[in-house]
Amino acid sequence: MTQIEKLAKLFDRIKEEWKKDSQIDFEIKDGVYAENLSVISLDTPFQHNKYLNHHSDLSLMKVSLEFEFRKLIREKREYYGGEADAKVYAEKPFGASIKTSEKMRVYLDSDEDILDIESRIKLIDVMLNYLDNVMKMITQRNYLVKNAIEWEKFTNGL
């Protein structure tokens, strides 16, 4: 399994966790809540911590990839510019060195190793954005629970 596939699988797992964690099922039966909304409210900090940990782990992973990316760019510039060690060319021959910056950009923009890291960084950005929104929803959860209680009271004449 490639690194991008592992990240995509992790993202799917996080989305499934949030689908489960975001459910609040309750109703009033004979003036009593079938679901204890206070438990949901008290669970909010634990939910926030869970997704904050996901966010932190992914942020650290992104930083690591960004450092790896910068190092790889240098290595690829040397490789395409004809300045890499002879051992590198023995393993992976490259015909001519590239002298113009425009041509260098074309090679760097289409290099599979660089594209792999860039795609992982972009996927992590999407995941971090998703987690930011999840944590906003969790932060609003107590307000939403209170609103739900007030609405149910109003509609049931309590």
Give φ, ψ of 98 to 5 degrees: -100, 130
Residue 125 is encoded by which pair of tokens? 């950005």
Chain mean pLDDT for the chain: 88
Q: Is the pLDDT at 104 greater than 80, yes or no?
A: yes
Structural domain boundaries, residue 106: 3-155
Model confidence, pTM? 0.83
pLDDT of residue 131: 98
Cα separation, 18 vs 129, in Å, equals 14
Q: What is the pLDDT of residues 17-37, one digit of tens each?
A: 999 988 876 655 555 555 667
How far is residue 53's CA from residue 59's CA, in Å, rounded to a whole number?
10
Number of domains in the chain: 1
Q: Is the pLDDT of residue 66 over 80?
A: yes
- Of 20-29, 69-78, 80-89, the range with the highest mean pLDDT is 69-78
Over residues 34-61, the mean pLDDT reads 87
At residue 152, φ and ψ (nearest 5 deg) are: -65, -40
Q: What is the pLDDT averaged over residues 76-102?
A: 88
